[in-house]
Amino acid sequence: MQLLDQLLGRREQRWFENGAAGSRRGKFAGQAMSGGRRVPVLGTSVAREGIAFVSPLQLAARELELTFRLRERTIPTRVRVDESDSVQAAERIVHRYFCSFIAIAADDWDAVVRYIDNKPEPLQPAAVKKPDEEFRALPIAVQNAVVDQLVRAGRLERPAPGTVPLIRMIAGRPRGVSPDRTAQDVLIHSKVERHDGMRSYDTRFRVYANGQIELIN
């Protein structure tokens, strides 16, 4: 049926379907939140779009808080269950889940892409401030205003409660823009999932000392 749908042009092939390219198999220890409890799961493949895993318990929710370990990195995400089934393993029935990422930090998503492309992790110099840490250093009201503008512009999905937005920030130096006003120009790199894959955007804002923000381009 899936092949017939594709031949007739009814829908695009999903990343986890037979014949789809761009994923990499492996074993990734993880945990899923279900019914207020942590359920140990085992990731079986990962792609730019999402992750597949098996669980000893059946998970009822269609959206899950999922944390998994990739190489030496712990990656917290929120995922949407696109498809699930149950299979007989050696000793018992296990439940398989094929999920799309809804929320994942930009640095973590870059690590997923490096794993899929079999590229090494970059060396992290000590005491270097990361771009996403710079964004979190902004006042909460400014962070929320930036996220709202990006969501309205279609350059970011609204992050679920308790998750970080899929953005990174590069900040310029604060400077005077008038005798009594200072401002800081920031470049926001955001990602949003489209039907044909992940899209990236660069958006410039001017952040004033009083918390006002202005979209530059």
187-200 tens-digit pLDDT: 888 888 777 777 88
Give the list of residues 6+ apart from residue 79 with CB closer than 8 angstroms, or none: 50, 51, 63, 64, 66, 99, 100, 101, 102
pLDDT at 4: 47
Q: Is the dihedral of CA 60, 64, 69, 74 positive or negative?
A: negative
The per-residue pLDDT for range 126-162, each reduced to its tens digit, is: 444 454 667 777 788 888 888 998 999 888 888 877 6
Q: Calculate mean pLDDT across residues 91-100.
A: 90
pLDDT at 126: 47
Q: Rg for the chain (alpha carbons), in Å?
A: 20
Residues listed for the chain: 217
What single string gives the DSSP state of each residue in 88-123?
E-SSSEEEEEEEEEEEE-HHHHHHHHHHHTTPPPPP
CATH 2.40.10.220 segments of the chain? 2-116
Architecture of domain 2-116: Beta Barrel (2.40)
Full-model pTM: 0.52
